[in-house]
Structure 1
Amino acid sequence: MRKSFKFVSVTLVLVMLALMSLACGKKDDDPAASDGKKNATLDFVWFSDGVEGGVMKDIIKDYEGKNPNIKINLIEIAYKDLSTKMKTMVAGGKPPALARISTTEIGAFSNQALDLATYVGGVDKFTEQFIDSIKPYYVVDNKVIAAPMDVTANGLIYNKTLFDKAGVKVPTSPDAVWTWDEFSAALKQVMEKGGAKYGMVWDFTPHRWSTLLYQFGGSMISQDGTKATINNEAGVQAADYFKKLHKDGVMPISVWLGGENPNNLFRSGTVAAHLAGNWMVSNYKDITNFEWGVTYMPKAKQRSSVPGGKFVMAFKNSGVEKEAASFIEYLSSKEVNSKFNKESLFMSPRKDSSKLDYAFGKEMFEVFANELNNTAPAAAEDWSKQGIVPKFSNDLKNNLVEVITDKSTAKEAMDKTAKAIDKAISDDKKDDKK
């Protein structure tokens, strides 16, 4: 009996020693165990507009190389499926660690977003890195609900060949921008002497039209978000001037009344200018039948563009909040953010990365960046209210069409729009109480 007990005891000791040896071996082989960091897999919901998906994969590969304990699982979906995919994951209690979010969706998921402030040194330290005009999109109730990845701006693309033929020089400095009347006169000269069929085309969206609203000093909604302001003097003036551009023949009615594609019209080489988003720089990259460029938009009471962009959001209850926040901090750094935007032909939201050495369009992007730096705060304050804006945007678009066709005066149209905005604000408050 004693020999049996002794044998069992020795065996147990040997087994324990073997297990300890294995444990030590695992710790030595596992870099996550050796530095105290846990292994984690971060699901990252992602959509692409162009080549940026490939750029992000390179960034992820670099990050995983520097952080062997982290695995980032990029879940690629079509943008049209983003909202549904995200709502399903969140409602099912399995939110992703991260998601790429546009300005349209950012408000919809703000309540589920991880507050990044405590992970990135506080609200002020984090936000001071980025251009001021986009702050209302990602800072809500003094919480950092997402990190800016790239920004968009509305601006002015022009047909250089037609302008040169007409002998019209565009402003080459932000200190010499045209007024709208001066710009309209210049477009008429390009039509008369340069052979342009149309002076300019303007995208058929309330977002693009609102550029004029902010340049006239207006806004859609009061700063506190409680009432419509679009029917004040500035809003009426902006609607009236938009009508004037059509009535004077500077703009074709076929875009806003007939649904003609402004991109195709500009590509035809018969249009002097296109008021569009900076993404059209990449879109027009393949034009070879004429020279084109980007110049500064004219001003009314003030200069302004309308900022937009894409963000990366981390989610509460993912189980890897700290790791997700660390990756976002990495993405937000000057080096990584600049790489992402430079290689994707996007604009960086960082103040210190407004001038990147792009393979194409370097000077053009700098003009768009300058437009953002001179943008009225009301632009982002309005468009960040994505629980409200989609509920009246079609009304605004339809009412502007009525102004162009003389079915309503500018004042009547903006008053109707204001009622739609006030209703949208009221409905949004009811939704919040549910």
Structure 2
Amino acid sequence: MLRKSKMSLLFAFVLILSLFVSACGGSENGGGEDGKVELRFILNNDSPTLVEQIKEFEKENPDIKVNVEKIPLDQFFEKIETMIAGGRTPDLLYTPVLATQRYANMDLLLDVSGDLKEEKDDFLPSTLVSVKNGDKVVGVPHFTDSIAVFYNKDLFEKAGVKVPESIETTWNWEEFAAAAEKVKSANNLKYGVSTGSDVSQFLPFLYQNKGTVLSEDQKSAGINSDSSIESIEFFKSLFDKGLASKESFIGSEKSDELFKQGQLPMVITFSGLINSFEKDIQGFEYGVTYLPKKEVTATKLGGANIVSFNETKHPKEAVKLMKYLTSEEKMAEFAAKEGVVPTRTSAQESVDYGAIDEGMQIIINEINSVPEFAVKDFSIPEYLGYKSILTSEMQSVILGEKSPQEAAESMEKQINNSVLKK
């Protein structure tokens, strides 16, 4: 009888202990066994700089442990949607600019307006567009990048062509095409300028003419406008005149590699490739110059934001990490190592890019001149939907299968019916 009572007490103790452990450890975002606050932080890239800075944060804040999870970008959106549907949102998310508004529109993101109140003016207004939800600020811009023009200094010098020295004196469209033609001819090259296959490299020309993919209120397509069609016509003319490679635009040829090999005088591509160019280019000197302008100077921005979710059990600690990673010092350090642009004005002034500094300053000047309408046009969740439509239709234009007018009408119809579901 006594043995039976002891066994019953032991069973009851084990049951109570198991329930206690379950209660303490049931939340993915809860505290650890040592009493530390644990934050779950999901990244969409494999940046060693960011991971190292997170480790430094842990050393400076021994009461906080950050559990980092990395999701490849090609799986990122689907997996985050699954987490949202299952109520398993992380404490912090490192998200592409274009995805932030989707989560904001679902009212999932933590309002950090009060936490950024004293620092808000230090951020570029264009980078804050994607982290706003009405009057609320629901994230912190971490870095930005853009579409830029890289050029072969040796080929330009041989042709006697000088690039613009400032954003105020940059080429207009006609001057840009003329420079490409002159350098091509002087060096007996196949092309004068080229882009990659990503339609993002067309968007600067659209925005330079004050064209947009969507209407001003973003409730309908805006691509079928006179200014947008004129942009498509000019872009098409670069290929029709033999200045740009059709093969590169449809993806059967790598324009970035051709540039590295000295076969292209200019390449319009992602500014983040500057570190790759600095490392790989041998045998000639390269530089960065400004995109041409039409009505305005403009490029297409990229980058990432750091956000937290309303469901976090540790908003104070989550915001503390957000502010740490986006401080002037840490942002400048990240930008220098990754070859990207800080979203803080103060960090732009203090960052030391070393060997790539000259080119990065031109990229910064260009980014700081981007009009807000151009940022608003793509900083929305629908961007991924309409980007595939733009890609297909612009390829049809470049290959001569459709006129700019026909493509604009087709894009308008598809965006309204398939993306915006009007």
Counterpart position of 2:77: 83
Is the CA contact (8 Å cut-off) linking 2:100 and 2:380 kept in structure 1? no
Q: Deviation string for 1:124-163 (max 9, x for gaps)?
A: x443221122222111222222211110111100111111
1:366 to 361, 367, 384: 361
Counterpart position of 1:206: 199
Counterpart position of 1:68: 62
Rate the CA distance shift 1:48–1:425 in 2: closer, same or farther, 3 A: closer
2:317 is the counterpart of 1:323: yes
2:259 is the counterpart of 1:266: yes
**1:335 Cα deviation from its structure 2 partner:** 1.5
2:109 is the counterpart of 1:113: yes
Rate the CA distance shift 1:421–1:47 in 2: closer, same or farther, 3 A: closer
1:147 to 140, 147, 150: 140
Rate the CA distance shift 1:407–1:56 in 2: closer, same or farther, 3 A: closer
Separation in 2, partners of 1:222, 1:246 = 28
2:94 is the counterpart of 1:100: yes
Rate the CA distance shift 1:398–1:86 in 2: closer, same or farther, 3 A: closer
Separation in 1, partners of 2:392, 2:85 = 35
Q: Deviation string for 1:167-199 (max 9, x for gaps)?
A: 211112222211111111111111111233210
Separation in 1, partners of 2:96, 2:296 = 27
Separation in 1, partners of 2:334, 2:398 = 41
Rate the CA distance shift 1:255–1:216 in 2: closer, same or farther, 3 A: same
Counterpart position of 1:20: none
For residue 206 of structure 2, give the secondary structure of its aligned residue in structure 1: helix
1:173 to 162, 166, 173: 166
Separation in 1, partners of 2:326, 2:386 = 34
**1:350 Cα deviation from its structure 2 partner:** 0.9
Is the CA contact (8 Å cut-off) linking 1:296 and 1:371 kept in structure 2? yes
Separation in 1, partners of 2:375, 2:95 = 16
Separation in 2, partners of 1:344, 1:235 = 34
Tell me how large the CA RMSD over aligned residues is. Answer: 1.9
2:39 is the counterpart of 1:46: no
Larger CA deviation: 251-260 vs 241-250 = 251-260
**Counterpart of 1:116 in structure 2: which amino acid?**
V
Is the CA contact (8 Å cut-off) linking 1:119 and 1:322 kept in structure 2? no
Separation in 2, partners of 1:154, 1:325 = 31
Aligned pair count reads: 384
Q: Deviation string for 1:366-419 (max 9, x for gaps)?
A: 111111111122221111122x22223222222222323333221221111111
Separation in 1, partners of 2:52, 2:249 = 42
Separation in 2, partners of 1:44, 1:376 = 32
Counterpart position of 1:247: 240
Counterpart position of 1:234: 227
Counterpart position of 2:333: 339
Larger CA deviation: 393-402 vs 328-337 = 393-402
**1:261 Cα deviation from its structure 2 partner:** 1.6
Is the CA contact (8 Å cut-off) linking 1:94 and 1:318 kept in structure 2? no
Matches within 5 A, 1:2-13: none
Separation in 2, partners of 1:126, 1:412 = 47
For residue 310 of structure 2, give the secondary structure of its aligned residue in structure 1: coil
2:56 is the counterpart of 1:59: no
Q: Deviation string for 1:216-259 (max 9, x for gaps)?
A: 11111122112221111110100110111111111122122463
Larger CA deviation: 74-83 vs 277-286 = 74-83
Find the structure with the greater CA-based Rg. 1
Counterpart position of 2:372: 377
Structure 2-normalised TM-score?
0.86
Query: Tell me, which stretches of 5 or more residues in structure 2 are unaligned?
Result: 1-34
Counterpart position of 2:389: 395
**Counterpart of 2:376 in structure 1: which amino acid?**
E
Larger CA deviation: 108-117 vs 233-242 = 108-117
Structure 1-normalised TM-score?
0.83
**Counterpart of 1:332 in structure 2: which amino acid?**
T
Is the CA contact (8 Å cut-off) linking 2:111 and 2:136 kept in structure 1? yes
For residue 169 of structure 1, give the secondary structure of its aligned residue in structure 2: coil
* Identical columns (%): 28
Q: Deviation string for 1:320-373 (max 9, x for gaps)?
A: 112101211222221121122122222111122224211331111111111111
Separation in 2, partners of 1:345, 1:252 = 27
Is the CA contact (8 Å cut-off) linking 1:281 and 1:361 kept in structure 2? yes
Is the CA contact (8 Å cut-off) linking 1:226 and 1:425 kept in structure 2? no
Rate the CA distance shift 1:64–1:203 in 2: closer, same or farther, 3 A: same
For residue 276 of structure 1, give the secondary structure of its aligned residue in structure 2: strand
Rate the CA distance shift 1:413–1:86 in 2: closer, same or farther, 3 A: closer
Is the CA contact (8 Å cut-off) linking 2:197 and 2:251 kept in structure 1? no
